[in-house]
Structure 1
């Protein structure tokens, strides 16, 4: 059953239950509070009529009772044997002879007050002789018992049509209004459901125009935001898988090719060593790529909260010490100016940042050049600048330097191999620590990387 049908049934059931509860409440209220007042009011009228009839003639009494019947009262008069009716018949004229005899003897009958309570019949509308008041009257010396009550049907004859038409109109208009409101409420949800189902097949172009200011409108806005994020995530995933496949396939193809060469007859020992070195290099490249992919996956799966004090200057010195042989191999000069600075962060992740940045500076520097490292602080942040005299980058390359798997112009860097993930990892870590990283570079002159991290 759809939500639309459920809403209609729920509304209809609510209206029905509310009507029943209101009827029962009205019935209880009438029997509890109004029935006695109604009885006393009619008893006063009956007593006034009896006083008037006791002092008039039979002909005049006949005219009076007929007039009262036309005016809206039901009167039942009996002397114990014959019955006269004015203003119509009662639906049920059953009455105990003992009651009639008591009224004939001069006692009053409070039938409206003593009418039994019934669940599905409101006493006010019960057109029964028992639901009347009775008084004794004397006409021409003969005693009669007079029972009366207002003729509800006659009094409300015109109001029946009015209230009946009003009730039917209210019900119909309420039902139609409920259908319209339900449609307006459910239609955006139907659209959201259709758009969600389309997302299952990676279709994100389903138009969704829901301009509302209520909870459904906020839900639609959140859905559009979520859909855009999912679309970007899927596109990134596809691009990621494509790039990973390419970067893994390339060294595998190289390894396969050189293994085939090693298996050929007549390969010299010098060639075998050369082929083995290339294979080892490609294996190292794949190992680096795998480790960096795992690092990126850990960021995507769950962010690591910074939880400790880290002395950045000590980490940079340790990194320079680890890379001492790489500096010596290229005969690079090192200048490191720093003050003691500590930040709040994740020490292993920050160590990865300095290693990646310094490794890149070494990799892209020309032999015999120098690398300058300067660390300063402001009242609220730490600033680290790493400047090299390497091959540099163009503005386009700087713009995409932090993209995953992006590599600079191969014509200038064909001898420098990498995974294209190092700077992407660095950016992820820096942003995780609420910091920023910027690159300024000029081709053939050098590159400067600036990292800012908030202080404790």
Structure 2
């Protein structure tokens, strides 16, 4: 494909050069016939008249030398007297035919405008047509004899050396243009070839080869954008693999536990107390699997959502009170206290999605707090937004943990012990829902000093 583009570029440039040259030639040829030819005829007619005036004062013996001199000065002359005797001076004409009546009218005193009236030609303009009828004629009377004097510039004499110069110059320009075009094509196609090779490696999931194209033109901008895309795809692929590994681990772990305890239940010597304990563990693990499935489904739905649907005016304060009541048993189980200051105005949003946010935030605050800790919830108004803050006195997070808190399946409990159960998806879902409501979320936290999460949502 690269070679095809290269050849297309070369052929396109060559064809453009040929068409441009032909067009320029036809335009200049038309211009010559319309304007230059008349002026050329007029100029040569004036020169012929001056020659005639000079020759009229010469004797018949001097005329021949004068004609030779004028012919050597760069003009082709044809002189014919009234008796029909004619002679050529200053070079041969390619075509010497000229009607007798033309010669007669010139002898009788009329001027012949052959250059002006020369028939239009396409490829060889009248300027270069070396024909007797492509000349100007003026009457001449010297030493009692009438003549017809026809002249035209001797193109071969005037431009003989220049023809080779201009010919060589034209060929040189053509060769240099083609050579420069090939070099330009190679420089243009080379980065595209490199991009194509990198694209093939990207298709094979090889993302480590950088795009080393240092240019300031559009191709350089394309290379920069492409390299940024390569890095982004590499990051996405890494996250995808981590996501798959985390999902596999979080599904495999409870399944393995369920399988193990089911095997223990099938043993004949299991006591009633042991059966009850094993069933409780199996129930906990199935609940964990169910919660993971719900969270994954919620993420999938949110990823596919382009905007929040079913928006209506709702009370943030009432939603928080409902959330606190639903989860009061968790607070009592850990002997925790909860205080709140709810002053937010009503906002427009999706009630179900926002309820999920409050549930996740409160669950995290309880989950990562020690027994006997406290939680404070605050809602307030800020210009055209409402602000929601939930603070706990839990285990907190380090700077690195805080930066990764919104990543899917990220948990500070990297060993995945059973001390703190969870899917690692809660804050990812929270951030997604807040973003769909055009809001913002931030975390402030210190290890062993607790965590404060602040959410801002527009009222409209």
How far apart are the structure 1 equivalents of 2:263 and 2:292? 24
Shift of 1:76: 1.8
How far apart are the structure 1 equivalents of 2:60 and 2:282? 135
Shift of 1:364: 3.6
Describe the superposition over 1:290-348 as per-residue Cα deviations: whole angstroms up to 9, x where unpaired: 22223333444455359765542222122223323434454543322221334565543
> Greater shift after overlay, 37-46 or 446-455?
446-455
Q: 2:442 aligns with which of 424, 437, 440?
A: 437
How far apart are the structure 1 equivalents of 2:406 and 2:101? 107
Shift of 1:91: 1.6
RMSD: 3.0
Q: 1:220 aligns with which of 211, 215, 223?
A: 223
Report the counterpart of residue 77 of structure 2 in structure 1. Answer: 75
Shift of 1:441: 4.4
In the superposition, relative to structure 1, how do residues 395 and 340 fare at CA in structure 2: closer, same or farther (>3 Å)? closer
Query: Does the 8 A contact of 2:344 with 2:381 survive in 1?
Result: no
Q: 1:321 aligns with which of 325, 328, 342?
A: 325
Report the counterpart of residue 30 of structure 2 in structure 1. Answer: 28
Q: 1:296 aligns with which of 299, 303, 320?
A: 299
**For structure 1, which runs of at least 5 residues remain unmatched after alignment?**
none
How far apart are the structure 1 equivalents of 2:26 and 2:414? 88
In the superposition, relative to structure 1, how do residues 358 and 27 fare at CA in structure 2: closer, same or farther (>3 Å)? same
Shift of 1:379: 4.6
1:41-52 matches, within 5 Å, as: 41-52=43-54
Say how many residue pairs are matched: 454
Query: Does the 8 A contact of 1:308 with 1:347 survive in 2?
Result: yes
Report the counterpart of residue 126 of structure 1 in structure 2. Answer: 129
In the superposition, relative to structure 1, how do residues 188 and 378 fare at CA in structure 2: closer, same or farther (>3 Å)? same
Report the counterpart of residue 343 of structure 2 in structure 1. Answer: 339
- SS of residue in 1 equivalent to 2:127: helix
How far apart are the structure 2 equivalents of 1:379 and 1:266? 68
How far apart are the structure 1 equivalents of 2:441 and 2:157? 89
Shift of 1:287: 2.2
> Greater shift after overlay, 320-329 or 201-210?
320-329
- TM-score (ref. length: structure 1): 0.88
Q: 2:58 aligns with which of 29, 53, 56?
A: 56
How far apart are the structure 2 equivalents of 1:347 and 1:156? 93
In the superposition, relative to structure 1, how do residues 111 and 407 fare at CA in structure 2: closer, same or farther (>3 Å)? same
In the superposition, relative to structure 1, how do residues 410 and 192 fare at CA in structure 2: closer, same or farther (>3 Å)? closer
Q: 1:101 aligns with which of 88, 104, 116?
A: 104
Query: Does the 8 A contact of 2:389 with 2:455 survive in 1?
Result: no
Does residue 196 of structure 2 align to residue 193 of structure 1? yes
- SS of residue in 2 equivalent to 1:452: strand
In the superposition, relative to structure 1, how do residues 435 and 132 fare at CA in structure 2: closer, same or farther (>3 Å)? same
Shift of 1:60: 1.1
- TM-score (ref. length: structure 2): 0.87
Query: Does the 8 A contact of 2:439 with 2:458 survive in 1?
Result: no
Query: Does the 8 A contact of 1:383 with 1:450 survive in 2?
Result: no
Shift of 1:275: 4.4
How far apart are the structure 2 equivalents of 1:363 and 1:52? 122
In the superposition, relative to structure 1, how do residues 34 and 258 fare at CA in structure 2: closer, same or farther (>3 Å)? same
Shift of 1:223: 1.4
> Greater shift after overlay, 295-304 or 53-62?
295-304
How far apart are the structure 2 equivalents of 1:442 and 1:136? 118
